[in-house]
Amino acid sequence: MKHKLFLVLALFFSGGLFAQTDTVRIMRTATAPERTEVNEQTFATEDTPELQKTPDSLVRVEVTTIHYFTDTLTSIVSTPDSVAKQREEITRTDSADRRGHYIEAYVGLSYGSLGYGFTDTQNKVNGFVSPLVQLQYAYFFHQNIGVGIGAWFTNNTSVAHLGGTYTWEDQIDTDTEQHYNHNAQVTEWDERQTTLNIGIPVSLQFQYRKEGKKAGVFAAVGIAPSFAVMNKYRVTKGQVTHSGYYPAWDLTLDNIHEFGPKDYTQEESSKGKIAVNPQATVFADLGAIIALTRQIDLFVGGYFQCGANDVNTSEKHPLGWKDNTFTFMEDYTGAYALNTTKASHPYEVGVKVGVHWRHIKPDKHETVDYFDYFTRRDTTVSLLARRDTNTTERIDTLTRAHIAKAAEEVEKFNKIYFALGSHQLTNKAKDYLSSIVGVLNKVPDAKVSIDGHASTEGDPAFNEILAYNRAKEVANYLISQGLDKDRVIVIGHGSLIPNEENVNHELPLDRRVEVKVVQKQSEIQ
């Protein structure tokens, strides 16, 4: 009896210990679970016929709960941006554009003369050094061509060298009316004639300087009306000896003190004015221009001037003299007025230097609005899905036959497809989900596994979230149609599991959600 009692107690305690080992172990996580996997194992055996008499079986259910965590991924993103500002801008005038207004100033030195000669060989004329001062305005209407007008001050100087013997035959003494021959011997005679002129040059100008170079070429041609503001002659050296027989006195002239050798520089008629016309002077300049600054060029070159018309308007007479006592000789008004003087065309050939000042508009100063571009660095936070699992066990009593039948009915059409990147249900999908709610409610003890999938297109992390959102969308719709939310297990697989029916590997067939009735653990793994 004692042995039987001990055996009953042993069986009782061993059964209790076995039941305690199979209790549920569930670990709660931070967010709602995605999926619960169920692996059932029956405890009904041939040695327990009392369990086989009922349609329900006592099973051990292994529950795997998958939890969905939301993690944050922080990254720095560089973004171009701008801010409105103001600044002062200076627009420099283009100095390479040589058109515009110029002021030109020159000084020069030349060799020139009044440009005349004598018809005889006893006399000759030399030139002399002449200065030049010139100021003018020019306007270049083209890069290389312009016109100018201005004024110059210059002089023309000639030195006449006279010599020889001049005879006046059959002269009459007005007092005695005696006839005689008069001789005059001119020796070492130098006479300077000078005119100071103001001219108004009108010119056509040409300049060329290659871009980027400091030196160029300048030329000008034109005509200048010129007017003498001073015109004079002066004997600087000279001696005259008069000779001849004077019958009234029975003397030769050189024996009379009035007619002996004379230094003519002391005579009143040794200086005086010469008569000249205004002249039309043609001229030409040629030289180089060298840039000193943006506005100033240095000119170095030569010039030539020549009168186009005869400027000598003197009343011509032979070489002769007359004093206050005797009237048998001609008045002397300078070598320029001798009857042997040729036409006078004053000329100059020389060099000159000058500056060309060019008017350039001042640099333009203005305040302008502008955008200052910079790079803005922003911090972005991305939400990442992470899964975790917890496996527990419990003992349930399930109607296995009902679960199998419900699973068979549901899994005939258990795939719901989605558009690329979308988790929105179509009307056709909603109709199907509404139809299976009634089937699922016939087996209230069965769990429903909703597995979301995505195709391999795109970022894997995004596809992980997309697959879960698709499964969550299906679950929410089933719950809204009356399915108990505690029976729903939501799983997101991302793009890891292809569609087993997609033999042609068509990407749209991988964008799906599969609805399963949980019966065995292998069906939810």
Mapping DSSP onto H, E and C, the string for 392-452 reads EEEEEEECHHHHHHHHHHHHHHCEEECCCCCCCCCHHHHHHHHHHHHHHHCCCCCCEEEEE
Phi, psi of 406 (to 5 degrees): -65, -40
* pLDDT number for residue 239: 79
Burial 490-520 (b: 16+ CB within 10 A, else e): bbbbbbeeebeeeeeeeeebbbbbbbbbbbe
Output DSSP code: residue 475: H
Q: Where in the chain is the domain with CATH 2.40.160.20?
A: 100-362
Tokens of 11: 């069986």
Give how far Cα 472 sits from Cα of 19, 32, 62, 482, Å. Answer: 35, 11, 23, 16
Specify the pTM. Answer: 0.50
DSSP characters over 147-162: EEEEEEEEEEEEEEEE
Walk along the chain (525 residues) and give the pLDDT tens digit of each residue. Answer: 444 444 444 444 444 333 333 323 333 333 444 444 445 444 443 344 443 444 444 455 566 666 666 667 777 777 777 778 888 777 776 667 788 899 999 999 999 999 999 988 888 999 999 999 999 999 999 989 999 999 999 999 999 998 877 776 766 665 556 676 777 778 888 999 999 999 999 999 999 988 888 899 999 999 999 999 999 999 988 877 777 766 666 666 666 656 666 777 877 778 889 999 999 999 999 999 999 988 899 999 999 999 999 999 988 877 655 544 444 455 678 888 888 899 999 999 999 999 999 988 777 777 877 777 777 777 777 666 666 666 665 545 445 555 666 666 666 557 888 988 898 998 888 988 888 888 888 777 778 889 999 998 888 889 999 999 999 999 999 999 988 888 899 999 988 888 888 777 788 888 999 988 875 433 434
| Contact predicate 460/494, CB 8 Å | yes
Measured from the Cβ of residue 275, the count of other Cβ atoms closer than 10 Å reads: 15
**Strand (E) or helix (H) holding 18:** helix 2-21
Length of the chain: 525
Q: Which CATH class is domain 100-362?
A: mainly beta
Ramachandran area for residue 514 (φ above 0: left; ψ -120 to 50: alpha; else beta)? beta
For 24-74+386-523, the fitting CATH number among 3.40.50.2020, 3.40.50.11440, 3.40.50.720, 3.30.1330.60 is 3.30.1330.60
* pLDDT number for residue 394: 55
* pLDDT number for residue 66: 66
* pLDDT number for residue 287: 96
* pLDDT number for residue 152: 95
* pLDDT number for residue 14: 40
Q: Where in the chain is the domain with CATH 3.30.1330.60?
A: 24-74+386-523
